[in-house]
Amino acid sequence: MRLTDLTYAHAVMRAHGINPQKRYGQNFLTNAQVVDTIAEICADEECGIIEIGPGIGTLTEALCPLYKKVVAIEIDRNLIPVLHETLSRFNNLEIIEGDAMKIDFKEFCKDHFGDMRVCVCANLPYYITSPIIMKLLEEDSPIESITVMIQKEVADRLCANPGTSEYGAITAAVQYYSESEKCFNVAPGNFIPPPKVTSTVIKMNKLSEPSVKCSDTKLLFTLVRLAFEQRRKTLANALSSISPKEFTENVAEELGYPRDVRGEKLSIDDFAYMADKLKNNTNV
Ligand code: SAM
């Protein structure tokens, strides 16, 4: 019997006295087709998988038969005995009690996977969606791809195009480090308990080199942060603390925008161009 079977899932939870914890973002999947599709698209068979937040083991039991090794990190210590029971038939699985936000994934991959290629797969807890994605993208680790179920609204932001209302600092960062694609939506009725919003599965393939060349990444992300912190201001006004207004307006024009353009129109390439100009301009 699979954990997507509601009778079985409820029986397991009852036997262990488990009530889904809101503070850990616990919404357990119940649709076998959704679970199987996420498991299938997240990697190829040569890979090892890091699963963040296995819950009672619903996605994990679909991952284990498909991949060389699965390491599942769960923060809720009450779920650890559940996982040891529901997943005891798999000998390519390691269950680790811990907080994924505190893990150094470079070391973690070396310790648990050696030379194996590694991908991340997760139905992420909503409360850490953006910070964990940024951590996985920014850290220098061998992780190749990140396939995660997140709130649809956040997925729309991560995959947005410049100039749209969803486009923001996190979009630019995701596009700097990865190529991302939205895979499919999942309605609230496919979880226990049902979340308030629709979810989306997205896959981010990490790039071996950032998508744009920029001599100063720190300056690039400072520009991005300032531009979106005050997105109703013109770019020149939003950046005025680090770049003279006339200088920014000139660069905006060089990029083909009006002098009063807002930051939300600029792509990550445009921000990189501006960062390089700013860095190399001795008059600034
Ligand atoms: N994978 C299961 C499923 O799809 O049914 C459960 C997904 S549930 C949305 C999120 C899981 O992440 C929960 O089991 C929760 O306890 C766990 N979790 C929450 N915060 C975590 C953290 N910082 N590190 C590791 N696991 C975490």
Summarize pLDDT for 197-226 with one digit per residue, the tens: 999 999 999 999 998 999 899 999 999 999
180: nearest Cα among 153, 161, 193, 199: 161
Q: How far is the CA of 54 from the centre of ligand 1 (A)?
A: 6
| Integer CA distances (angstroms), 204 to 43, 115, 148, 150, 266, in order | 11, 21, 9, 12, 21
Q: Are 255 and 266 in contact (CB under 8 A)?
A: yes
* Dihedrals phi, psi of 180, to nearest 5 degrees: -115, 150
Q: How far is the CA of 261 from the centre of ligand 1 (A)?
A: 41
Distance CA 58, CA 244 (A): 55
With residue 121 as reference, give the H or E element that holds it: strand 117-123
Q: Which of 24, 94, 95 to mutate to test the pocket of ligand 1 (most atoms within 8 A of CB)?
A: 24
- pLDDT recorded at residue 284: 47
Angle at 111 between CA 107 and CA 115, to 5 degrees: 95
Angle at 53 between CA 52 and CA 55, to 5 degrees: 150
Summarize pLDDT for 266-282 with one digit per residue, the tens: 999 999 999 999 887 74
Q: How far is the CA of 130 from the centre of ligand 1 (A)?
A: 14
Q: Is 187 exposed, middle or buried (0-12, 13-18, 19+ CB in 10 A)?
A: middle
With residue 241 as reference, give the H or E element that holds it: none
Distance CA 39, CA 36 (A): 5
Which stretches in the chain have pLDDT values below 70?
A: 282-284
Q: How far is the CA of 53 from the centre of ligand 1 (A)?
A: 3
In three-state secondary structure terms, 272 is helix
Q: Which of 5, 123, 129 to mutate to test the pocket of ligand 1 (most atoms within 8 A of CB)?
A: 123
Residue 234 has what DSSP assignment?
Answer: B
Residue partners of 53: CB distance under 8 A and separation at least 6 = 24, 25, 73, 74, 75, 100, 122, 123, 124, 125
Residue 194 has what DSSP assignment?
Answer: P
- Per the DSSP assignment, residues forming a β-bridge with 29 are 191
Specify the pTM: 0.93
Q: Is 107 exposed, middle or buried (0-12, 13-18, 19+ CB in 10 A)?
A: exposed
For ligand 1, say whether the CB of 55 is within 6 Å of any of its atoms. yes
Distance CA 56, CA 3 (A): 8
Query: Ligand 1: which residue has its CA nearest to atom 1?
Result: 54
Q: Which of 75, 108, 192 to mutate to test the pocket of ligand 1 (most atoms within 8 A of CB)?
A: 75
Atom of ligand 1 nearest to the CA of 73: 25
For ligand 1, say whether the CB of 75 is within 6 Å of any of its atoms. yes
Atom of ligand 1 nearest to the CA of 54: 1
| Bridge pairing between strands 69-74 and 117-123 | unpaired
Mean pLDDT computed over every residue of the chain: 95
Q: Are 58 and 28 in contact (CB under 8 A)?
A: yes
Token digits for 52?
A: 């963040």
Q: Which of 74, 132, 134 to mutate to test the pocket of ligand 1 (most atoms within 8 A of CB)?
A: 74
| Integer CA distances (angstroms), 208 to 13, 51, 105, 176, in order | 42, 22, 16, 11
- pLDDT recorded at residue 231: 80
Query: Ligand 1: which residue has its CA nearest to atom 11?
Result: 53
Query: Ligand 1: which residue has its CA nearest to atom 23?
Result: 99
Q: How far is the CA of 172 from the centre of ligand 1 (A)?
A: 26
- pLDDT recorded at residue 283: 47
Query: Ligand 1: which residue has its CA nearest to atom 8?
Result: 26
Token digits for 168?
A: 């923001």
